[in-house]
């Protein structure tokens, strides 16, 4: 069944109207960009996605990446995809001109990737990791490292990876043991194993550049002894590329995202070069991880978008049952109705739309703070950076957790067919399940939000976010239809303060376990309110445009309708959540573990 996977109109509307991307276009590092170039780039990405990505996602699942002869083999379409990505300038996009980059606004960059990920989420990781690895070299590497690696990586002749996880350490990076032994020529020899390495090996570029966390011999224990290295799969020598003993030991067979390889790599005296200073690897890596968190949330939103349009197409074509008559009985003289006419199916579709578009708006919001940071003076930079930092765990988590729910809802629209491999929903259902795990699980993101971010700048950043939200509430109060929603958002904003006020004493008295015990619920609460803010922002703009008599009335009314859905069905969960978090009964701290048997 041919169907859409994304609404380009919505992405453009959010970028250009709701989030007023022109406020950053033409300024500072973005001086080469205007609205026309933004829209043209998105059009070319959509065309690329239509032709080279969307038609191959099923095949990439059915013919997944596989391990053979100590190498991983990925779908042949990647050859074309890498070629086209190079022509579209996808890797140089966000880099500085001096490094060969295009200085693209992050809003545009993320919007473009969202389109690609809706079309095929098995692909973009190869590109995103190359960008991320190159970005670490560009930001923290020596001129020599930059000269050696950046041109090849920006040209997609070589791809990149991030090698963090080790079997014994999982998310706990303080426990990694991969060793780095200094050599006489200033390089290091790496020994150790890394698992779950996305894009870790494939046959379509001459080299793969691993950015790896390891410990220099004798380094302190824990995070303070972790350094960052460049470890190429093949060393660059005067005689060309030479094997560097990076052994591909296997491929993890996964529930979903099967076109995207996930490798087990073994480093045996692999030569490596230090990036930046020794023992500062983790702080460097966090720059990359923050980008990766946004990218992960964006990928979740992309998958949920594809699932939404797939279920919408089905609902518009599938006749089944009849509308209820005034007696509550079915009128058999009527033809069967399309299932899209059943209220519960409409609810399931609106539910998906509210989650998908709310997530997309948040991703653009966060990216715009980054763009604003990049073109601002010192004090404003700190302001925008802090807002971005605060929102990052939410950008990662909301589309992951609620996107999963949206895809599940989309599958349900298809009934029995949703469970069949012939339809795409089962694929999205499998694919999206990783998003809550990648780049720090939901539990870890929630600890970050509640344990670090809300207290950032002595709690000032939360006030700043509150002020940003209040701006939207104030605008909405000027539109009669939006007033009740503005009021509801205002109450919810107070709820966050109330919850933190109730729990903060635990943190202050040193009982961090108790303070953080329900961090995951706090994330749900906070994320829902943040998305409520985004929906009010969208509705504000749509109302303005409707009042101006803009042409696409049903498009604009649809945005307001979906906002109302979100407030009725989702924002209504917040009070219960807050009550649970503030409920003082301790149930998840210390208890006899045999209670669980």
- Chain residues 287-326 in contact with its own copies, contact rule CB under 8 A: 312, 316, 318-326
**Six-digit token pair at 55?**
């038609």
Q: Which of 291, 424, 448, 518 binds its own copies (CB under 8 A)?
A: 518
Q: Does 330 bind its own copies (CB under 8 A)?
A: yes
Tally Cβ neighbours within 10 Å of residue 417. 14
**Six-digit token pair at 276?**
């930046």
61/371 with CB nearer its own copies: 61
Q: Which of 35, 219, 249, 252 binds its own copies (CB under 8 A)?
A: 252
245/254 with CB nearer its own copies: 254
Q: Which of 26, 28, 419, 487 binds its own copies (CB under 8 A)?
A: 419
With contacts defined by CB under 8 A, name the span among 22-30, 50-58, 295-303, 580-588 that binds its own copies.
580-588
d(CA 486, CA 491): 9
Q: Does 507 bind its own copies (CB under 8 A)?
A: yes
CB-based burial of residue 69 (10 Å sphere; 0-12 exposed, 13-18 middle, 19+ buried)?
A: exposed
* CA dist 466 → 49, 57, 391, 454, 459 (Å): 37, 41, 12, 11, 11
170/478 with CB nearer its own copies: 170
249/437 with CB nearer its own copies: 437
Q: Does 349 bind its own copies (CB under 8 A)?
A: yes
Contact at 8 Å (CB) between 166 and 197? no
Residues in 105-134 that interact with its own copies by CB under 8 A:
none
442/534 with CB nearer its own copies: 442
Residues in 200-239 that interact with its own copies by CB under 8 A:
221-222
Cβ 561 to its own copies shortest distance, Å: 5
Cβ 225 to its own copies shortest distance, Å: 10
* CA dist 589 → 124, 380, 452 (Å): 40, 41, 20
Residues in 379-408 that interact with its own copies by CB under 8 A:
404, 408
* Helix pair angle (143-154, 124-140), 10° resolution: 160
d(CA 33, CA 521): 41
In terms of DSSP H, where are the helices of 452-482? 460-477
Q: Does 7 bind its own copies (CB under 8 A)?
A: yes
d(CA 237, CA 451): 47
Cβ 481 to its own copies shortest distance, Å: 11
With contacts defined by CB under 8 A, name the span among 32-40, 86-94, 226-234, 562-570 that binds its own copies.
562-570
Q: What's 377's DSSP letter?
A: -
> Of 188, 171, 240, nearest to 437 (Cα)?
171
d(CA 583, CA 450): 17
Q: Does 506 bind its own copies (CB under 8 A)?
A: no
Q: Which of 27, 63, 234, 561 binds its own copies (CB under 8 A)?
A: 561
352/385 with CB nearer its own copies: 352
Q: Which residue has the tokens 């309110």?
A: 529
Q: Does 357 bind its own copies (CB under 8 A)?
A: no
DSSP collapsed to 3 states, 25-36: CCCHHHCCCCHH
Total number of residues binding its own copies (CB under 8 A)?
109
């Amino acid at each position: 069944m041919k169907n859409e996977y994304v609404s380009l109109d919505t992405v453009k509307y959010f970028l250009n109207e709701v989030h007023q991307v022109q406020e950053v276009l033409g300024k500072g590092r973005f001086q080469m960009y205007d609205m026309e170039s933004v829209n043209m780039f998105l059009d070319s990405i959509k065309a690329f996605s239509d032709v080279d990505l969307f038609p191959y996602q099923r095949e990439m699942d059915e013919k997944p990446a596989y391990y053979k002869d100590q190498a991983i083999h990925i779908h042949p379409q990647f050859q074309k995809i890498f070629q086209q990505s190079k022509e579209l300038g996808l890797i140089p996009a966000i880099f500085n001109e001096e490094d060969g980059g295009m200085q693209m606004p992050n809003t545009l960059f993320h919007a473009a990737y969202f389109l690609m990920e809706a079309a095929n989420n098995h692909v973009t990781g190869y590109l995103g990791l190359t960008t991320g690895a190159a970005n670490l070299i560009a930001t923290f590497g020596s001129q020599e490292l930059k000269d050696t690696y950046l041109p090849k990586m920006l040209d997609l002749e070589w791809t990149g990876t991030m090698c963090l996880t080790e079997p014994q350490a999982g998310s706990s990076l303080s426990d990694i043991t991969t060793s780095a032994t200094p050599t006489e020529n200033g390089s290091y020899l790496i020994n150790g194993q890394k698992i779950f390495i996305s894009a870790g090996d494939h046959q379509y570029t001459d080299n793969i550049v691993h950015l790896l966390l390891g410990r220099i011999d004798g380094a302190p224990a824990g995070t303070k002894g972790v350094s960052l290295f460049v470890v190429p799969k093949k060393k660059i020598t005067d005689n060309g590329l030479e094997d560097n003993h990076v052994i591909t030991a296997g491929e993890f067979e996964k529930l979903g995202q099967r076109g995207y390889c996930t490798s087990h790599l073994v480093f045996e005296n692999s030569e490596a070069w230090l990036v930046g200073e020794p023992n500062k690897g983790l702080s460097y890596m966090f720059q990359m991880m923050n980008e990766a968190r946004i990218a992960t949330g964006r990928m979740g939103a992309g998958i949920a978008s594809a699932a939404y349009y797939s279920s919408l197409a089905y609902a518009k074509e599938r006749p089944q049952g009849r509308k209820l008559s005034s007696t509550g009985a079915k009128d058999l003289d009527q033809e069967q109705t399309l299932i899209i006419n059943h209220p519960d199916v409409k609810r399931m579709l609106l539910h998906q739309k509210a989650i998908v578009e709310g997530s997309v708006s948040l991703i653009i919001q966060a990216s715009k703070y980054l763009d604003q940071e990049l073109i601002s003076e010192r004090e404003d930079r700190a302001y925008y950076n802090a807002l971005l930092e605060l929102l990052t765990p939410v950008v990662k988590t909301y589309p992951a957790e609620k996107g999963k729910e949206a895809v599940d809802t989309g599958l349900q629209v298809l009934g029995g067919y949703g469970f069949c491999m012939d339809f795409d929903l089962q694929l999205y259902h499998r694919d999206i399940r990783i998003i809550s795990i990648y780049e720090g699980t939901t539990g870890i993101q929630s600890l970050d939000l509640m344990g670090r971010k809300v207290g950032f700048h002595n709690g000032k950043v939360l006030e700043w976010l509150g002020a940003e939200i209040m701006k939207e509430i104030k605008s909405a109060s000027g539109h009669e239809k939006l007033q009740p929603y503005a009021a509801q958002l205002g109450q919810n904003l107070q709820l966050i303060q109330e919850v933190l006020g109730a729990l903060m004493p635990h943190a202050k008295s040193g009982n961090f376990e108790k303070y953080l015990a329900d961090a995951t619920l706090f994330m749900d609460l906070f994320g829902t309110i943040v998305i409520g803010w985004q929906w009010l922002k969208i509705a504000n703009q749509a109302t303005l445009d409707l009042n101006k008599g803009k042409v696409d009335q049903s498009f604009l009314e649809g945005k307001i309708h979906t906002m109302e859905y979100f407030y009725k069905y989702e924002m209504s969960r917040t009070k219960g959540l807050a009550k649970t978090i503030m409920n003082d009964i301790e149930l998840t701290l210390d208890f006899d573990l045999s209670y669980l048997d």
